[in-house]
Amino acid sequence: MRRSTAVLALPLTALVVAACGGGAATSSSKPAAAKHYSVTLIVGTTSDAFYQTMNCGAEAEANMLGMSYTYAGPSTFTPSQQIPIVNSVTAKHPDAVLIAPTSTTALVAPMKSMQQAGIKIIEVDTTVTNGVKDGIALSSISSNNLLGGEDAAKELAALMGDKGTAIVINVDPGISTTDARAQGFDQEMKANYPGITVLPTQYDGDSASKAESILEDTYAAHPSLTGVFAANVLTAEGVSAGITHVGKPGVIKDISFDAEPPDKTALNNGTIQAVIAQEPALEGEWGVIEAYNALTGKHVTPTIRTGIVSITKANETADAKYFYSPNCVGISPIPVTSTPPTPSS
């Protein structure tokens, strides 16, 4: 099932800004060089295929727009590791920053300092609380994570025959995206599936090995467990390994968020029944476009919602293009004149 908001690339050729030259003539009759903007992407972690794919999209778009591009991020999805990187980037003062904050609260102060230093901020994937509303960020670009959680609940309930015991295994509380996924899942389960008992959410700190242990311990304590929602890339890796370890592929139904390349194998061997793919490359591309719009005095779209696609073994081939591409294969920039997918579209 595809919940897509197509990017309408207008027929105009993409606006390509010369890296140098062009622009109005100056008194010396030497044409002024077009301003050469710089943009940095700070991801939540450099260790997973989602952000690696986002980097591919952002870099491709920046190159097309003639912007200097740099990429940064912590090796683990933690504010304690990300905040020093944010402060270091602020000191380098790029013209714009795309950032996926690892906490809705802990990154507020460092991002406020960055904004007050005059750096244009675009939130990609995650947000801080009221980031755009409070003027810290100019735009927020992400999937509709609440909808993604609802979709996961519907698909898992169908696989479970609307009965049994399920659990959400998540990253940490206080992450805007994964919190929204769990909220959507819980709301949908409570509203429409009274025959399914949802155990309290457990958290793995974005560790696949911890997610595997949680799955195994939960199954040992609840042999009636027949459904799991794994809320992100590394959680999904661990849950899949745990289901294999307890010998219950296809018995414990597994819906996982994100679609990294190894998930193709997991779908085929039945340790995962469906993955909900986001469009990280597109998020990176739109982040650069909105940064460019802010730097060149054009309209900035405050909220952009890229699509989500549910992939099963049955449609895996048809939807192969939605698996993430951390090596950037198949990723190319979108025209800067494309129409952004907004929540109403």
Q: Which residues bind ligand T6T (CB under 6 A)?
A: 44, 48, 50-51, 125-126, 177-178, 232-234, 257-258, 278
Of 256 and 271, which has the nearer Cβ to ligand T6T?
A: 256
How, if at all, do strands 308-312 and 274-277 pair? antiparallel
Q: Which residues are CB-contacts of 266 (< 8 A; sequence separation ≥ 6)? A: 240, 256, 272
Q: Which of 9, 84, 105 is nearest to 42 (CA)?
A: 84
Of 17 and 282, which has the nearer Cβ to ligand T6T?
A: 282
Of 126 and 325, which has the nearer Cβ to ligand T6T?
A: 126
Of 79 and 164, which has the nearer Cβ to ligand T6T?
A: 79
Provide the β-strand partners of residue 256. 230, 275
- Minimum distance, C-beta of residue 113 to ligand T6T, in the bound complex (Å): 23
- Minimum distance, C-beta of residue 177 to ligand T6T, in the bound complex (Å): 4
Residue 249 identity = P
- Minimum distance, C-beta of residue 322 to ligand T6T, in the bound complex (Å): 14
Q: Which residues are CB-contacts of 81 (< 8 A; sequence separation ≥ 6)? A: 74, 75
Residue 189 identity = M
Beta-carbon neighbour count of residue 275 at 10 Å?
28
- Minimum distance, C-beta of residue 243 to ligand T6T, in the bound complex (Å): 19
**What does the alpha-carbon distance between residue 241 and residue 215 come to, in Å, rounded to a whole number?**
9
Residue 221 identity = A
Q: Which of 30, 57, 33 is nearest to 43 (CA)?
A: 57
Of 95 and 123, which has the nearer Cβ to ligand T6T?
A: 123
**What does the alpha-carbon distance between residue 311 and residue 18 come to, in Å, rounded to a whole number?**
40
- Minimum distance, C-beta of residue 307 to ligand T6T, in the bound complex (Å): 13
Q: Tokens in use for 107?
A: 């990154």
Of 48 and 263, which has the nearer Cβ to ligand T6T?
A: 48
- Minimum distance, C-beta of residue 236 to ligand T6T, in the bound complex (Å): 8
